[in-house]
Amino acid sequence: MKPIARQAVWREGASHPDDLAEETPVAFEYNGISHAVMLATPADLEDFAVGFSLSEGIVARRQDIFDIGMVEADAGITLQLEIASEDFVRLKEHRRSLAGRTGCGLCGAESLGQVMRDMAPLPRGAPFPLDALYAGMRRLPALQVLQQATGATHAACRVHRDGMISYVREDVGRHNALDKTLGALARGGVAVGDSALVITSRASFEMVQKAAALGVGTLAAVSAPTARAVRLAESLNVTLIGFLRQETCVIYSGSKTMLEQSA
């Protein structure tokens, strides 16, 4: 299935072809057992499988995913993951049914205890330079291929300390885009401790949790964070930045003074 669908639309008194972002149900199966169904853009699905599995704490390491199969049907796409037995045992013990709608990061959680995971704070590293974030933000739009074609997708990417960006991934769901980038980084064996992530959305609680789960110490969003996201970022030593533009931002948690001085 392609990530873009062509549709005839009526505009300015005439019929015109238009490109629309595709979304389809994507089911996750672990060792043959159904776990979750998310609506997602059908692109970079192996990255999605790895990123979701790691950021949701289903597996502890990339190496614990032994195989990823993909089965496409009329109803959607099934990602069939084979994971380590110890991870599968833990998954069955803490299993939840996750019926995800676009943009929903916690749909289907069966208890409040499943929302707050027990995570250790990240080690404090060198502050990330604001100039690099600004440079990354300037470069990102040109690489948002699906957004340029459809106007309907979010993106996430890695920003390097020199302002270059990599691992740009897009999806109709902001959580999915982040999971795809995290999965691509994990599949590439990239050490993320000395880099930042930029997301073209608001920064909600689960976005901070997902980034911290993979050791990312700086998360920057083009929109605002939530109060719970800020509190979580503070507790996990994550520098959280909102309203990132080409030359301005708001720093909500982390090394505020050091970041400002580095600009």
pLDDT by residue (tens digit) across 133-143? 999 999 999 99
- The pLDDT value recorded for residue 114 is 55
104 is catalytic: yes
Residue 53 banded pLDDT, cuts 50, 70, 90: very high
**pTM (2 d.p.):** 0.91
Res 120 pLDDT > 60 = yes
221 neighbors 244 (Cβ within 8 angstroms): yes
Residue 104 banded pLDDT, cuts 50, 70, 90: low
pLDDT tens-digit series, residues 196-230: 999 999 999 999 999 999 999 999 999 999 999 99
- Ordered by where they begin, the domains of the chain are 24-114 (3.10.20.10), 130-262 (3.40.140.10)
- The pLDDT value recorded for residue 194 is 83
Residue 99 banded pLDDT, cuts 50, 70, 90: very low
Res 128 pLDDT > 50 = yes
pLDDT tens-digit series, residues 10-31: 988 999 999 999 999 999 999 9
